[in-house]
């Protein structure tokens, strides 16, 4: 049971079992519509019906750059084959999510084996197989979340492998894969500078000259994203590298509803925002939200810092008041998830400490995920779903902490060609 494919197969069974169980609890009419009542579902429906990348809220509001293109197009293919807003389309999309989540075990195993040893790899794989968010999210969210988790840990794996085989074709693949990943989820770009910097330093420490190859990889990453950027520029007459929704997300997290002394607004409704979006158009709507968010942050800096702190707590523990909500909840499952979140945070910290003392050269790429990836969500919205793409890296750090005694001497790292010697231990 030490093969990543076997572990991934078991992980898939867990996810499919949860999908089937939960699916039987929900009426088919609800499964056919509710999971798609989001931006991805609306755009995918428009694409499947022969329209352009448009109709963000199921209304004829014109082209949009609200989302990155890959997942809505994938969902549109499912709609085209199995029907728009049908239960069959939901199950197919959810099965794809389960497959994406299960495949995480393969690159996670490879990264863990290189960072620690085979015991670490097996531990990380099984940990991901039972990771609650990895089981729940494929069913709960018909979104790019599960695919993003697979891409995130794969990017880390490919970065490690480049230090072992720094050939020109591998750099070409690396750049192309980064471009594709950003077209799925631009938030992954938060770790790109750190992985590139570590890759450069690691290769330089081995007296290699990676500058040209790294520049080639960066150029290819940009080249993959360029067609979509050009499309956005043509449609909206301004530079939108991949997606445009950041001003709205920033406003959602920083607006007068959080100011108890403000009488300007006491609630935000989807109907009002959709109506305003349809009335103004996407460009004017986002400009208005961006200006409002910036002004609110400028005039309520202390409050916005408090909000960011609360969001940081919620992003890691599931709620901004974890101890109170744990005591108030009468659900065993909810309490278990609160406890798991706390243990995940503790294990992540312990894994980072272990890495710092025993594999210091690996600290930068591993720390990039818990430190850099969530930063934008501290400013905008908090959700364990938003953190999920870096959850495989957290499972890796937990496994490193749990198997500390077995990999601490560093013998495997030297064998793997990651630039370590016994003195690094």
Share above pLDDT 90 across residues of the chain, in percent, rounded to a whole number: 83
Could you tell me which residues come within 8 angstroms of residue 220 by beta carbon, excluding any fewer than 6 positions away? 172, 175, 176, 178, 179
Please report which confidence band the pLDDT of residue 59 belongs to, taking 50, 70 and 90 as the band edges.
confident
Secondary structure class of 254 (helix, strand, coil): coil
pLDDT at position 280 is: 93
Largest CA distance in the chain: 65
Could you tell me which residues come within 8 angstroms of residue 128 by beta carbon, excluding any fewer than 6 positions away? 7, 11, 104, 105, 108, 134, 392, 395
pLDDT at position 357 is: 93
Q: Which range has the worst mean pLDDT, 69-83, 251-265, 291-305, 402-416?
A: 402-416
Residue 411 has pLDDT above 80, yes or no: no
User: Which of 181, 234, 180, 290 has its CA nearest to residue 63?
Assistant: 234
Give helix then strand counts, H and E, for the chain. 24, 0
Please report which confidence band the pLDDT of residue 1 belongs to, taking 50, 70 and 90 as the band edges.
low
Contact 196, 218 (CB under 8 A): yes
Cβ neighbourhood burial of 238 (10 Å; 0-12, 13-18, 19+): exposed
pLDDT in tens, 375-384: 999 999 988 8
Both tokens of 291, joined, read: 């200006």
Burial per residue of 362-373, b for 16 or more beta-carbon CB atoms within 10 angstroms, e otherwise: bbbbbbbbbebb
Contact 347, 397 (CB under 8 A): yes
CA dist., res. 242 & res. 240, Å (int): 6
CA dist., res. 103 & res. 120, Å (int): 18
State how far the alpha carbon of 259 is from the alpha carbons of 264, 267, 270, 290, in Å. 10, 11, 20, 18
Residue 248 has pLDDT above 90, yes or no: yes
Could you tell me which residues come within 8 angstroms of residue 32 by beta carbon, excluding any fewer than 6 positions away? 85, 86, 87, 89, 90
Q: Which range has the worst mean pLDDT, 54-68, 221-235, 254-268, 350-364?
A: 254-268
Please report which confidence band the pLDDT of residue 407 belongs to, taking 50, 70 and 90 as the band edges.
confident
pLDDT at position 266 is: 63
Please report which confidence band the pLDDT of residue 271 belongs to, taking 50, 70 and 90 as the band edges.
confident
State how far the alpha carbon of 306 is from the alpha carbons of 159, 249, 253, 312, 322, in Å. 36, 17, 11, 10, 16
Please report which confidence band the pLDDT of residue 58 belongs to, taking 50, 70 and 90 as the band edges.
confident
Residue 200 sits at φ, ψ, to 5 deg, of -65, -50
Average of per-residue pLDDT values in the chain: 92
pLDDT in tens, 163-200: 999 999 999 999 999 999 999 999 999 999 999 999 99
């Amino acid at each position: 049971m030490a093969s990543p494919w076997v572990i991934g197969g078991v992980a898939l069974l867990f996810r499919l079992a949860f999908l089937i169980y939960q699916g039987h609890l929900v009426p088919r009419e609800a499964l056919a519509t509710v999971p798609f009542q989001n931006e991805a579902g609306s755009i995918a429906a428009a694409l499947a019906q022969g329209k352009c990348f448009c109709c963000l809220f199921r209304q004829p509001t014109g082209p949009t750059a609200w989302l990155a293109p890959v997942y809505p197009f994938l969902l549109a293919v499912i709609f085209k084959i199995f029907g728009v807003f049908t239960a069959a389309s939901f199950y197919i999309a959810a099965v794809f999510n389960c497959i994406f989540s299960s495949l995480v075990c393969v690159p996670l195993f490879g990264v863990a084996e290189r960072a620690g040893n085979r015991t670490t790899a097996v531990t990380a794989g099984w940990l991901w197989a039972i990771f609650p968010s990895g089981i729940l999210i494929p069913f709960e969210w018909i979104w790019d979340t599960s695919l993003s988790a697979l891409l995130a840990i794969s990017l880390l794996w490919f970065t490690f492998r480049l230090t072992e085989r720094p050939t020109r074709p591998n750099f070409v693949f690396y750049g192309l894969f980064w471009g594709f990943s950003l077209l799925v989820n631009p938030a992954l770009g938060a770790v790109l500078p750190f992985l590139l910097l570590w890759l450069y330093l690691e290769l330089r420490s081995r007296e290699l000259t990676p500058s040209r190859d790294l520049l080639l990889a960066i150029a290819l990453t940009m080249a993959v994203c360029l067609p979509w950027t050009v499309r956005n520029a043509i449609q909206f007459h301004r530079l939108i590298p991949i997606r445009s929704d950041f001003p709205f997300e920033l406003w959602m997290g920083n607006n007068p509803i959080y100011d108890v002394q403000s009488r300007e607004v006491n609630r935000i409704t989807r109907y009002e925002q959709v109506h305003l979006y349809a009335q103004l158009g996407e460009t004017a709507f986002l400009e208005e939200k961006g200006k409002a968010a910036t002004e609110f942050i400028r005039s309520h800096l202390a409050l916005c810092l408090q909000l960011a702190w609360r969001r940081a707590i919620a992003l890691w523990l599931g709620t901004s008041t974890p101890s109170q909500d744990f005591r108030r909840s009468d659900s065993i499952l909810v309490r278990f998830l609160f406890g798991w979140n706390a243990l995940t945070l503790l294990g992540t910290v312990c894994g980072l400490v272990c890495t710092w003392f025993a594999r210091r050269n690996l600290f930068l790429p591993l720390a990039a995920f818990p430190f850099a990836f969530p930063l934008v969500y501290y400013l905008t919205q908090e959700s364990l779903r938003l953190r999920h793409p870096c959850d495989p890296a957290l499972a890796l750090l937990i496994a490193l902490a749990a198997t500390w005694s077995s990999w601490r001497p560093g013998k495997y790292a030297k064998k793997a060609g990651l630039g370590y010697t016994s003195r690094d231990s």
